[in-house]
Amino acid sequence: MKMIEDQKILEEEFKGDSDRAAAIVSASYLDEILREILLEYLVEGTNKDDKELFSGNGPLSTFSSRINLSYRFGIISENERKMLHGIRGIRNEFAHKLAGASFTDESIRQRSLNLSVPREMLMPNDIPIPRSHDEKVPLPTIKKADESDPRAIYQEAVTHVALLLRGRQAYCTQNKLKGVENYSKATDPGREIQKIHEALLERYESLLDKAKKLGAAVGPEDVEAQRQQDILCRANKYCLDQADRAHSEKRYA
């Protein structure tokens, strides 16, 4: 399972690395997961299409742009967006400081502590699995990182976010975006717009009808708004029907 692999990989990265390496590599790991998610979610493209999106000056070439677009696509939540940007900010501090940066630096320390994950959102590190139906195993213990240890809090946050992203990835795999079909007729775009006009007209009529049934006063401005929407709806439909007829009868100059 990917989430178990993530945990093991991240634990190894944090085990012996310097603060700088641990912060930069773990953030890059989340950056790569986001890339995987977006590739799985977006409409299928060629390798060239992917390279233009994710490399060089492409719109999804940076960690920041991947976070923001994932949020705007509805792939990640507001909390996940904030946590990813928090991790990105810590990575940037380590990357930009030439020497001596550590989790004990006040700005990095405070940024790390702000990433603290609520205990009720944490998964156990180890879950005993029975080897038979009869074997009894103890419930796992959920351990929270020491709130006074900014590196431990950062590590916990990165591992937690990796798990959250794998959940989002599973969703995206099952709900991949599909390319829209080409319009086949000149009036197809207008027919889509016509649906909006009809829905608005129906809403106006429903609201006015409900007001009358409740005995509420219906102002002349409400009646006029409904009349204007009706005119717009009928005029748009007439134009579309005429355009379809002109194509059908090949009225081409």
Tell me, yes or no, whether 218 and 119 share the same domain: no
Tell me, yes or no, whether 161 and 221 share the same domain: no
Half-sphere exposure of 121 (CA within 13 A, CB side): 13
Tell me, yes or no, whether 143 and 232 share the same domain: no
Higher pLDDT, 229 or 185: 185
Number of structural domains (the chain) is 2
Task: Tell me whether residue 14 is in a domain.
Answer: yes
Task: Tell me whether residue 86 is in a domain.
Answer: yes
Tell me, yes or no, whether 14 and 64 share the same domain: yes
pLDDT band at 37 (very low <50, low <70, confident <90, very high): very high
Higher pLDDT, 205 or 43: 43
Residue 2 has pLDDT above 70, yes or no: no
Residue 155 has pLDDT above 80, yes or no: yes
Tell me, yes or no, whether 164 and 207 share the same domain: no
Read off the pLDDT of residues 106-125 as tens digits, 9 standing for 90 and up. 999 999 999 999 999 999 88
State mean pLDDT over 33-51: 95
Tell me, yes or no, whether 9 and 101 share the same domain: yes
pLDDT band at 29 (very low <50, low <70, confident <90, very high): very high
Task: Tell me whether residue 116 is in a domain.
Answer: yes
d(CA 62, CA 92): 12
State mean pLDDT over 137-165: 94
Return the minimum-mean-pLDDT range out of 86-95, 167-176, 194-203. 194-203
Residue 36, both tokens: 């995987």
pLDDT band at 6 (very low <50, low <70, confident <90, very high): confident
pLDDT at 74: 96
Task: Tell me whether residue 243 is in a domain.
Answer: yes
Nearest-CA neighbor of 87 among 112, 69, 59, 51? 112
State mean pLDDT over 12-38: 88
Tell me, yes or no, whether 147 and 65 share the same domain: yes
Task: Tell me whether residue 157 is in a domain.
Answer: yes
Residue 79 has pLDDT above 90, yes or no: yes
Residue 216 has pLDDT above 90, yes or no: no
Residue 12 has pLDDT above 80, yes or no: no
Average model confidence (pLDDT) for the chain?
91
Terminal C-alpha separation, the chain: 64
- Sign, CA dihedral 241-243-248-251, equals positive
Tell me, yes or no, whether 74 and 29 share the same domain: yes
Residue 15 burial by Cβ neighbours in a 10 Å radius (0-12, 13-18, 19+): exposed
pLDDT at 4: 67
Residue 1 has pLDDT above 60, yes or no: no
d(CA 34, CA 53): 13
DSSP state, residue 118 = P
State the CATH number of the domain containing residue 118. 1.20.120.330
Tell me, yes or no, whether 19 and 56 share the same domain: yes
Tell me, yes or no, whether 24 and 95 share the same domain: yes
State mean pLDDT over 200-204: 88
Structural domain range at position 218: 188-248
d(CA 11, CA 126): 13
DSSP state, residue 196 = H
